Amino acid sequence: MRETRDGRSAWLAIALACMGCGDAHTLPTDSAVPTDATSDAATRECAGPTGELDLLLVIENAGNLLPVQYSLTRQFPRMIDSLVSGELRDADGTLLRMGTPVTSLHLGVVDSDMGSGGFDLPTCADSNFGDDGILRSASPVGAPECAPSYPTFLDFRTDTGDPATLASDATCLALGVGTDGCGIEQHLDAMLKAITPSSSPLTFQQHSAGHGDHLNAGFLRADSVLAVILLAEEDDCSASDGDLFNSASTTYPLELNLRCATYPEALHPVSRYVDGLLALRPDHPERVVFGVLAGVPADLIPDSGPIDYSLVLIDPRMQTVPDPSAPSHLQPSCVAAGRGWTFPPVRITTLARDLDVADAHVALQSSCQGEFDKPMTAILNRTFDALAGGCTR
């Protein structure tokens, strides 16, 4: 939770100027999965391959986030080329695998600003709803390379579209979220509200409904692969009790920077996001992709083989404790040169673990790296798995 604003810098011009300028990762399976594939085959519901991909970028926009946003957007040309060609290549151009090419891509962007429970805070321009999980259409300020504004989502088809233009437009949308959002980061509620239909029993701040069939209508299709890439430097703080953000609260008396980690009972349970995402693909959880770039220490993410989520979550650096040198703030989890500190993404990691167990395709990666080459390769690898189709376990 940040309470400072940062202006835009020369990073934007560098990001757009460098538009032309990893490794496949295997994730674990549920230990309770039946091992007798033959006897289980008759009960499986199988999804065929698809070329339809709906990609939602959830980008934190509070604090000094432009350098890490720039690191993500530098991956867009390779990401788009790989998806459209069906050829997964690493950052050096080495072919890693062939897959189902994407023939139709929807790309939308939301940020982490969902307001502050109606309580006025210095960095929260709209205390009630913030940017409310509405797909972004704004262009970065002072960026002549970008259009003045964009549709709420980019609709790309390989028979008519240009991948280079799509990568450039995606960069403008992603950097258009800015860095002056509310210092209370509610990534997961923003993600879910963006794509949940208003007919869902799920409700959001002030009992509002999802935007999936209203303000964001048309983005999510019925039979596509739904892929989410979440960029976060702090953990999610999606609150069920808005009083958590009341600076005068007697229920939650600690410093604002410590409340999200100290009072988990005031937050929505992680199961809300597992269930909410899978409800959008109830028969085919294997058509959900969840890619994460967050403050997990990089050495906890193996170059190959499965991630041991239990080891990640019990690592001392992933514990949410006050920083001895700054007791009103949490102790950082890791640091990346030129970007600053990140903080333990406990809830986000837990969501990754639980979606992985539920048969979604998950790529948990660290943002504490010089570049995002390997993380993007891992996310693309999982996306190719989803596009290829398969059977639920």
pLDDT of 19 reads 46
Report whether 363 contacts 228 (CB < 8 A).
no
pLDDT of 191 reads 98
The 10s digit of each residue's pLDDT in 182-218 is: 999 999 999 999 999 999 999 999 999 999 999 999 9
Poorest-pLDDT segment among 13-27, 104-118, 371-385: 13-27
Poorest-pLDDT segment among 26-35, 356-365, 368-377: 26-35
pLDDT of 349 reads 98
Task: Return d(Cα 53, Cα 11) in angstroms, integer.
Answer: 29
Q: What are phi and psi of 115, to 5 degrees?
A: 80, -165
Please say if the pLDDT value at position 79 is more than 90: yes
What single DSSP character describes residue 242?
G
Q: How confident is the model at residue 393 (pLDDT cuts 50, 70, 90)?
A: low
pLDDT of 198 reads 97
40-44 LR contacts (CB < 8 Å, sep 24+) = 40/393, 41/391, 44/391, 44/392, 44/393
**Residue 320, number of CB atoms within 10 A of its CB:** 18
What is the arithmetic mean of pLDDT over 221-237?
A: 97
Task: Return d(Cα 323, Cα 312) in angstroms, integer.
Answer: 20
Task: Return d(Cα 371, Cα 92) in angstroms, integer.
Answer: 13
Task: Return d(Cα 115, Cα 125) in angstroms, integer.
Answer: 8
The 10s digit of each residue's pLDDT in 283-326 is: 999 999 999 999 999 999 998 888 999 999 999 999 999 999 99
Cβ contacts of residue 340 below 8 Å, gap of 6+?
64, 67, 233
Q: What are phi and psi of 281, to 5 degrees?
A: -135, 60
Which pair of tokens denotes residue 279? 């409800």
pLDDT of 47 reads 84
Task: Return d(Cα 377, Cα 362) in angstroms, integer.
Answer: 12
Task: Return d(Cα 328, Cα 320) in angstroms, integer.
Answer: 12
The 10s digit of each residue's pLDDT in 117-168 is: 999 999 999 999 999 999 999 999 889 999 999 999 999 999 999 999 999 9
Please say if the pLDDT value at position 43 is more than 70: no
Task: Return d(Cα 288, Cα 311) in angstroms, integer.
Answer: 25
Nearest alpha carbon to residue 232 among 115, 124, 320, 343: 343
The 10s digit of each residue's pLDDT in 86-96 is: 999 998 999 99
For the entire predicted model, the pTM comes to 0.90
pLDDT of 164 reads 97
Helices (H) and strands (E) in the chain, counts: 11, 14
Nearest alpha carbon to residue 135 among 59, 239, 22, 30: 59
pLDDT of 304 reads 84
Please say if the pLDDT value at position 372 is more than 90: yes
